[in-house]
Amino acid sequence: MTTLNLGNLATFRLVVQRGSFSAAADALGISQPAVSLQVRQLEQFFTDQAAGANRTWDQGDGGRNGIAGPQRADRSGGE
């Protein structure tokens, strides 16, 4: 599992604030390709996170019934 690189996030924020990759690179004192790489790594992180969130787990009928049971109990429990 990868972790969010806060430096990459700060670089992306600077790209947005300055309006371009080149302006962010100048402000950071690094090359424009280095800024592009950091933003690409950030994109990959969020792509990986989204892919992980879309992975489903087969709970079968038993799992669905197990989830529905407490919901029914919540609805009738306060009456």
Within a domain: 62: no
8-state DSSP, 74: H
pLDDT at 2: 76
Domain of residue 38: give its range. 1-53
Within a domain: 63: no
Q: Say which residue the tokens 């670089």 belong to.
A: 11
What is the rounded CA–CA span in Å between residue 36 and residue 20?
10
Six token digits for residue 24: 């962010």
Query: Which pLDDT tens digits describe the chain residue by residue (79 residues)?
Result: 578 999 999 999 999 999 999 999 999 999 999 999 999 999 999 998 888 876 655 555 555 555 555 555 555 555 4
Of the candidates 55, 59, 75, 57, the one whose C-alpha atom is nearest the C-alpha of residue 67 is 59
Number of domains forming the structure of the chain: 1
With contact defined as beta carbons under 8 Å apart, do 8 and 36 qualify? no
Six token digits for residue 44: 């990959």
Whole-structure pTM value: 0.64
